[in-house]
Amino acid sequence: MTKTVLVLGANGRLGRAAVLAFAAAGWQVRAQLRRAPRAALPAGVQLVQCDALDVPALTAAGQGAQVIVHALNPDYTRWATLLPPQTAAVLAVARATGATLMLPGNVYNFGHQLPAVLTEDTPFVANHPKAAQRIALEAALAEAAASGVRSIVLRAGDFLGDAGTWIDLAMAKDLARGRFTHMGPADLPHAWAWLPDLAQTFVAVAERRASLPPHAVLHVPGLTLTGAQLQRAFEAALGRPLRARRFPWPLLRLAAPFWPMGRALVEMRHLWQRPHQLDGTRLRALLGGDLPQTPLDSVVRQCLAGLPQPPGLPALA
């Protein structure tokens, strides 16, 4: 039987990685986007150009799909108003097509005081707006299971491996000037997800979805790294030392009243002040062993190559 996936948000970070990974694994891919593809897509990928709220168009595009990857992400500063209708639309499409919905979860759900090790049983705490919004999103998926909508949340750390991540926006922004920027204490473990690995995990879980309950949550451990470990990995890839520098949070705080994105970022600063990692025991049990895991040196080399102005790499060995 042809395996078919509809990827919602195919121009986004996870969306694009998912299109590439499902296509490479032999799935028929339908890619929803609202603009032209930002880069070439593999041959055979069918484009579905429409808004994510266009339920009739998405339902038509999803006919025959077994899986829908929900990689949409509305404007980060307007989740309160944009997330609920988007969730309702995506659930309507999943209900109408019978496809299993797969959502990349994040660690916001655990609130400000998130514990150091996050398992699927760690309680959610809605003590900041984005925590409440993500908890509501996942609750809507869980509730929809009672009316026959199957869903899987794959919870992951901060994405690595595309533009618009903490690496290119902040940490590696000043490498050309010999500086590496730390978002918090340099020895604080932080959860990351290398997008190609995460997308391959989506494929592997999609192929085992029949063994999961109607609503499942699985944690993707990805890479747990301190800022110091990341700095050393960048130094090794560049072949030269870097000076550590602190992210200018006080400036962001000053700008926050006038700059919605700055305000939204300051609200999430706790993720750089609390050590955290995702426990992947259940995911490993499902997939039967090793998870897709690109080595850190390769991750960092690819991050460097993707920077707007890659700062001169030494020749590969």
Ligand X SMILES: NC(=O)c1ccc[n+]([C@@H]2O[C@H](COP(=O)([O-])OP(=O)(O)OC[C@H]3O[C@@H](n4cnc5c(N)ncnc54)[C@H](OP(=O)(O)O)[C@@H]3O)[C@@H](O)[C@H]2O)c1
What does the binding site for ligand X look like in residue numbers (CB under 6 A)?
9, 11-15, 34-35, 51-53, 71-74, 104, 106, 156, 158-159
Least gap, CB of 71 to ligand X (angstroms) = 5
CA of residue 298 relative to chain centroid, distance: 19
Return the number of the residue (199 or 296) whose C-beta is nearest ligand X.
199
Return the number of the residue (71 or 304) whose C-beta is nearest ligand X.
71
Place of tokens 């050309």: 176
Return the number of the residue (156 or 299) whose C-beta is nearest ligand X.
156
Return the number of the residue (53 or 291) whose C-beta is nearest ligand X.
53
Count CB-CB contacts under 10 A for residue 258.
8
Q: Give residue number: closest CB to ligand X.
A: 12
Return the number of the residue (34 or 253) whose C-beta is nearest ligand X.
34
Dist. CA 69–CA 99, nearest whole Å:
10
Dist. CA 317–CA 310, nearest whole Å:
18
Dist. CA 211–CA 106, nearest whole Å:
23
Residues with Cβ within 8 Å of 2's Cβ and at least 6 positions away in sequence, in order, are 28, 64
Least gap, CB of 53 to ligand X (angstroms) = 6
Least gap, CB of 277 to ligand X (angstroms) = 14
Least gap, CB of 163 to ligand X (angstroms) = 9
Place of tokens 């901060």: 158
- Pairing of β 151-155 and β 100-105: parallel
CA of residue 102 relative to chain centroid, distance: 12
Least gap, CB of 101 to ligand X (angstroms) = 12
Torsion-angle region of 182 (φ positive above 0: left; ψ -120 to 50: alpha; else: beta)? beta
